[in-house]
């Protein structure tokens, strides 16, 4: 988990509006990771950023708006990461699923400060419409991609499982692994979490996945049939 020491994120005294807003969002993430949701105040964020309390009021007006925009930033950062991973991956169902899963455990996205900040915000997001509206669209898009890839893999490998149920199991397992990484004291590493996901995919799509990810070449039909 992040260090308890306060880290100043101060930027040069003269900075553009966009730079200042991003600096304050970064400071909010660091503050959430360090002290949690209830103790994250505008004053605490200002101290982390090395800026004045009044500057936060000028840019975001309230704590609620600052946290909502922080969640929006983190949601977009998460989406941009997996979209970029898919763009760079092979144009096969297995290659795309491999990239999607690896993106979830990317070092920048699955870093301790990000995990701690997500943990602090997720509980609040369940009951606050202002937070839900900033990430629900991204969540739906992500789920639709998983469902599409599961349908393509199931059809290509002639697997007996229902693709919509497989997609649901993948989503729940991903959430569970993230939850463990967020709330438990080092039960396993990011790499082991990734291995766990590939082990699961191997069970559903044995002709497409092995312990280390997508298999090279065409699906192994004998495995799929067996």
Report CA-CA distances (Å) from 11 to 41, 46, 53, 61, 70: 20, 12, 15, 20, 18
CB 27 within 8 A of CB 45: yes
- 207 versus 127: which is more confidently predicted? 207
Tell me what the pLDDT averaged over the chain comes to.
84
> Which residues have a Cβ under 8 Å from the Cβ of 97 and sit 6 or more positions away?
146, 149, 150, 153, 201, 208, 209, 214
As a whole number of angstroms, the distance between CA 148 and CA 156 comes to 12
Mean pLDDT over 209-218 rounds to: 84
Mean pLDDT over 197-226 rounds to: 77
pLDDT in tens, 57-94: 998 989 889 998 998 899 899 999 999 999 999 999 99
The dihedral through the CA atoms of 89, 92, 94, 96 has a sign that is positive
User: What pLDDT, on a 0 to 100 scale, did the predictor assign at position 182?
Assistant: 81
User: What pLDDT, on a 0 to 100 scale, did the predictor assign at position 197?
Assistant: 96
Name the token pair of 74: 């983190």
Domains identified in the chain and CATH numbers: 17-61 (1.10.10.60), 65-225 (1.10.357.10)
pLDDT at residue 170 greater than cutoff 90: yes
pLDDT classification of 137: cutoffs 50, 70, 90: low
CB 131 within 8 A of CB 124: yes
Name the token pair of 72: 């929006």
Mean pLDDT over 193-202 rounds to: 95
- 79 versus 186: which is more confidently predicted? 79
């Amino acid at each position: 988990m992040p260090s308890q020491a306060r880290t100043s994120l101060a930027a040069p005294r003269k900075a553009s509006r966009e730079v200042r807003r991003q600096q304050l969002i970064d400071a909010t993430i660091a503050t959430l990771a360090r002290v949690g949701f209830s103790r994250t105040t505008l004053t605490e964020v200002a101290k982390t950023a090395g800026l004045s309390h009044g500057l936060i009021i000028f840019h975001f007006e309230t704590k609620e708006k600052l946290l909502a925009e922080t969640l929006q930033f983190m949601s977009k950062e998460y989406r941009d990461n997996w979209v970029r991973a898919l763009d760079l991956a092979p144009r096969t169902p297995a290659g795309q699923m491999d990239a999607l899963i690896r993106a979830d455990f990317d070092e920048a996205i699955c870093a301790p400060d990000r995990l701690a900040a997500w943990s602090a915000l997720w509980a609040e997001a369940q009951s606050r419409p202002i937070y839900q509206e900033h990430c629900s669209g991204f969540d739906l898009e992500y789920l639709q991609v998983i469902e599409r890839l599961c349908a393509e893999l199931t059809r290509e490998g002639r697997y007996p499982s229902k693709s919509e149920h497989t997609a649901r199991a993948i989503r729940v397992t991903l959430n569970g692994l993230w939850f463990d990484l967020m709330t438990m004291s080092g039960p396993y590493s990011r790499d082991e979490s990734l291995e766990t996901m590939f082990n699961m995919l191997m069970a559903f799509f044995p002709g497409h996945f092995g312990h280390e990810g997508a298999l090279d070449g065409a699906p192994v039909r004998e495995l799929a049939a067996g």
